[in-house]
Amino acid sequence: MSTKEQYWKYSLITIILGLGIILFRQITPFLGGFLGALTIYILVRKQMIYLSTTRKMKRSIAATLITAEAILCFLVPLALVVWLAVINLQHLNLDPQTLIAPFEEAASIIKAKTGYNLLSGDILSYVISILPRIGQAVMGSISSFVVNMFVLVFVLYFMLISGKKMETYFNDILPFNDKNTQHVVSEINMIVRSNAIGIPLLAIIQGGVAMIGYWIFGAPNILLSGLFTCFASIIPMVGTSLVWIPIAVYMALIGNWLQALGLAAFGAIIISQLDNLIRFMIQKKMADIHPLITIFGVVIGLSIFGFMGIIFGPLLLSLFFLFVDMFKKGYLDGGRMTE
């Protein structure tokens, strides 16, 4: 390759990288929509192939039907959950005192029994003043969520329309041979399907079982507590205990010792064991992912991708180890064999 050709090559690479960084910075607010569209595309890809190839349906019609299915099966339930959160956040913005009342009651009981005041006047006033701002911040993230849902639907439709061309293009530009390319694509499909189905299913099961326990033992605000339990199940290791332990402690402080002990036992024996058993059972059945990759992948992914990090965090970590293994087998082991 001549010097001029090398100049063209590296100049083009520099331009591609520079434009890529600029474009990535601009689409970052909509990254959740793009990742969500990719997730749903992987889940419904076989349906699209069946409708367009086997049933000979026009790709535009098939894409419209599958997009409508995604809206009904994925987005509508998610929107209902967000709507429930909005209703409760409106109460937080209008009357933050209602939220802090249980903490005041618990603090007064602790003060009466121990003489120690957990909530001084300054702390209480600060908490009351900051609660509406937290609610407003969450409401702002909800508006971002709505925008990302529109992006998701828009991107998903066109991914379905040009699915084969898109897959062929990306397979061609991956820096691997055919065997490794198929391995990488297969790994991405397995992990995305496992996390996209397994984690929400686990959250629904744990939230539903927890709501039964909250109802049996008379916990306050069963519906909201169950919703918090669903989201807490995403957090590795501690999970749902972030919800049912404080509720049990609060019930004990207000004098409901029997119900508090019953809820604590229910949480430790049933809710937490569901987290330990079902989480890894589902993911082990759908994709052979090491538990540590799932745990640390979720932690890493949430900080990088936001909510979609529960799916793409473990994927990112799994691909890292996959690429290291490919490098080892392709270069290090091969180098030793030739020595």
**According to the 3-state scheme, what is the secondary structure of the chain?**
CCHHHHHHHHHHHHHHHHHHHHHHHHHHHHHHHHHHHHHHHHHHHHHHHHHHHHCCCCHHHHHHHHHHHHHHHHHHHHHHHHHHHHHHHHHHHHCHHHHHHHHHHHHHHHHHHHCCCCCCHHHHHHHHHHHHHHHHHHHHHHHHHHHHHHHHHHHHHHHHHCHHHHHHHHHHHCCCCHHHHHHHHHHHHHHHHHHHHHHHHHHHHHHHHHHHHHHHCCCCCHHHHHHHHHHHCCCCCCCCHHHHHHHHHHHHHCCCHHHHHHHHHHHHHHHHHHHHHHHHHHHHHHCCCCHHHHHHHHHHHHHHHHHHHHHHHHHHHHHHHHHHHHHHHHHHHHHHHHC
When pLDDT is cut at 50, 70 and 90, the band that residue 18 belongs to is very high
Q: Rounded CA gap, 106 and 84, in Å?
A: 26
Paired tokens of 285: 């059945």
The answer to whether residue 15 scores a pLDDT higher than 90 is yes
Mean pLDDT of the chain: 77
Backbone angles phi, psi at 288, to 5 degrees: -80, 75
Least confident piece of the model among 142-156, 179-193, 286-300:
286-300
The predicted model gives 276-302 an average pLDDT of 69
Most confident of 59-63, 85-89, 228-232: 59-63
Other C-beta atoms closer than 10 Å to the C-beta of 303 total 10
The percent of residues in the chain predicted with pLDDT above 90, rounded, is: 7
Q: Rounded CA gap, 220 and 232, in Å?
A: 17
The answer to whether residue 95 scores a pLDDT higher than 60 is no
Measured CA to CA in angstroms, residue 69 lies from 37, 43, 60, 232 at distances of 13, 12, 14, 28
Paired tokens of 71: 């809206």
The percent of residues in the chain predicted with pLDDT above 70, rounded, is: 75
The predicted model gives 281-303 an average pLDDT of 70
The answer to whether residue 337 scores a pLDDT higher than 50 is no
Q: Rounded CA gap, 63 and 60, in Å?
A: 5
Least confident piece of the model among 50-64, 200-214, 263-277, 281-295:
281-295
Kindly report the pTM of this predicted structure. Answer: 0.74
Q: Which residue has better confidence, 60 or 90?
A: 60
Q: Rounded CA gap, 133 and 222, in Å?
A: 25
The answer to whether residue 154 scores a pLDDT higher than 70 is yes
Q: Rounded CA gap, 101 and 254, in Å?
A: 12
29, amino acid identity = P
The answer to whether residue 331 scores a pLDDT higher than 50 is yes
Least confident piece of the model among 12-16, 37-41, 302-306:
302-306
248-283: string of b/e by CB count within 10 Å (b at 16+)? bebbbbeebeebbebbbebbeeebbebbeebbbebb
The answer to whether residue 65 scores a pLDDT higher than 90 is yes
Paired tokens of 211: 């709501």
CA dihedral 68, 74, 80, 86 (to 10 degrees): -110
pLDDT at 19: 93
pLDDT at 67: 92
The answer to whether residue 127 scores a pLDDT higher than 80 is no
Helices 241-253, 257-266: crossing angle, 10 deg rounding = 170
When pLDDT is cut at 50, 70 and 90, the band that residue 338 belongs to is very low
* Cβ pair 262, 217 in contact under 8 A: yes
